[in-house]
Amino acid sequence: MSKTLSNFLFISVLCLCIANCANRGTPSGGPKDETAPIITKSVPENYTTNFSAKEIRIYFNEYIKTKDLSKQLIISPPMDTQPEITPLGTASKYLTIVIHDTLAPNTTYAINFGSSIVDNNEGNPFPYYKYVFSTGSYIDSLTVPGVILDATLKDPDNFVTVALYEVDSTYTDSIIYKKKPKYITNTLDSITSFVLENIKAGTYLLTAMKDENQDFKFQQKSDKIAFLKEFITVPKDTTYVLKLFNEELDFKSFKPRLVSKGKVAFGYEGDYENMSIDILTETPTDFEQAITKDKKSDSLMYWYRPKLETDSLLFKVAYKNTVIDTFNVKITDKYQDSLTVSGAPNGPINFNQDFILTASTPFKSLNKSFISFIDKDSVVVPYTTKMDTLNNNISFVFDKKENSKYRLQFLPEAITDFYNNKNDTLQFIFQTKGYDDYPNVRVLPRNAVYPIIVQLTTAKGEVKYEEYSTEAKPIDFKYLTSGKYFIRVIFDANENKKYDTGSYLKKIQPERVSYYPDEIEVRSGFDSEYEFILN
């Protein structure tokens, strides 16, 4: 064997040995770490009394980090200045809490981390860790348990703040708007029950809020609210039920603005149906005005003619005949809105649906002699019309036959608008399907207290179909769109044929609402019946 060949064989064997050694030394990874971190010590110790420290350190047996701390952290009572908590986004073997606030005397504080403390490697949480201390000589240990419901939805929101306000010499009903509560907790994610802990004996107002701004103060425009009408006394062996609802916004009017020639927009919040607008500027004898609801914004449009030779107009806005404010609107040169007309539906029309005509400017009149309405056999279709001046639409009501086609034609000058503009020729074609193309649902209410409103809604509570009933009889929903629905019953206590929400300041709870236990599925070609036993 030559020396060169011997060297080649030696090097080949050596490479194989190195490769085998490398393979044998590669770790398999081992079992996944599913163990939560363990606290080894706390300085000061958890549940310390006569607490006076400015910094707390909690030591763990491994590196930890915080996750979703802003959502999970609950400090009760709330501090005016949030403590500084580290680590944030990095790993450490200890958690540091630096207190910047001046703590109240003889008060038990609880800092609840929820599931925000996790190990650095696998993210295993240290669940529901709570650090408790007292600035007094003992730890308060009473509890207030309860359940959160929603007034109109089947399931309540996540992360609902539950609060206790101490009823003492400084208490007023407006406290929820101005001050942070004495004690708080949170329902966290997908949990509807709550327990307020480390409470001292006393008398309290119990509330819950979907606190969108996370400032512990009720803001009517953004937050849901729940409350108990009567104060509660702690301790008491009771599980409380709180029902969240949106209040109707208090009426508010905003400064109006000129949108186009002869058209002024009046923005508002709350109930626009009881809002009135009057012009205070002197007007000529031929002056006309119209008011419509804008489709895209919370505004009423004030239309007027003829053009007034003035630099500004003065208006008065009132709500329920009470003057809210007066406004001066500057008048500048603008173009006047032109007339455009649209109709819906365009295509299939349901048997329980009307054809709706809408316009860009207020309708003034309709000349039926210039309107042609015929079916597929060119037979004239009898109809009636209903004009809604506030929403600026005209409904065409007629009897529909299955599998029929309809043509509605408007010749020039059939429509006249507020500014005496006329339409050009318009034509709309729509058709019906067969009766069997639509599913029907029958609801059989049991134990109902009448009158009731029975609704089919989406999972988010959007009403798709509604029937009103004053007596015990089946409720029929006909010609439905296939899909999934929830059955909801509103107990119309004041008999005004609509759902009425609650009011915290007036101490009114929302009208009672019940949901059928299961979601229902409605499919074409199938009729279904549901017995709804109401408690």
Identify how many contiguous H helices and E strands the chain contains and give both numbers: 3, 42
CATH number of the structural domain 438-533:
2.60.40.10
Quick: pLDDT tens for 398-419. 999 999 999 999 999 999 999 9
Torsion of CA 440, 446, 451, 455, to 10 degrees: -30
CATH number of the structural domain 142-244:
2.60.40.1120
109 residue type, one letter:
Y
Q: Which CATH class is domain 252-330?
A: mainly beta
Same CATH topology for 39-134 and 252-330? Answer: yes
Q: What is the 3-state secondary structure (H, E, C) of 191-246?
A: CCEEEEEEECCEEEEEEEEECCCCCCCCCCCCCEEEECCCCEEECCCCCEEEEEEC
Closest CA to 77 of 183, 171, 176: 183
DSSP string, 242-287: EEEBPPPPPPEE---EEEETTEEEEEEES--TTEEEEE-S---TT-
Closest CA to 202 of 184, 183, 218: 183
pLDDT for the residue numbered 128: 82
Radius of gyration, CA atoms only, the chain: 34
Q: Which CATH class is domain 341-436?
A: mainly beta
Q: What is the 3-state secondary structure (H, E, C) of 469-508?
A: ECCCCCEEECCCCCEEEEEEEEECCCCCCCCCCCECCCCE
From first to last of its 535 residues, the chain has per-residue pLDDT tens of 444 444 444 445 444 444 444 444 444 555 666 788 999 999 999 999 999 999 999 999 999 999 988 888 999 999 999 999 999 889 999 999 999 999 999 999 999 998 899 999 888 888 889 999 999 999 999 999 999 999 999 999 988 999 999 999 999 999 999 999 999 998 877 788 999 999 999 999 999 999 998 889 999 999 999 999 999 999 999 999 999 999 999 999 999 999 999 999 999 999 999 999 999 999 999 999 999 999 999 999 999 999 999 999 999 999 999 999 999 999 999 999 999 999 999 999 999 999 999 999 999 999 999 999 999 999 999 999 999 999 999 999 999 999 999 999 999 999 999 999 999 999 999 999 999 999 999 999 999 999 999 999 999 999 999 999 999 999 999 999 999 999 999 999 999 999 999 999 999 999 999 999 999 999 988 999 999 999 8
125 secondary structure, DSSP code: B
Q: How far apart are CA 77 and CA 198, in angstroms?
A: 10
Q: Give SS3 for 329.
A: strand
45 residue type, one letter:
E
DSSP string, 87-103: -SSS-EEEEEEE--SPP
Domain 39-134 fold? Immunoglobulin-like (2.60.40)
Domain positions in the chain: 39-134, 142-244, 252-330, 341-436, 438-533
pLDDT for the residue numbered 501: 97
Q: Please say whether the beta carbons of 418 and 362 come within 8 A.
A: yes
Closest CA to 112 of 145, 155, 148, 161: 161
Q: Is the dihedral of CA 442, 444, 448, 451 positive or negative?
A: positive
pLDDT for the residue numbered 17: 43
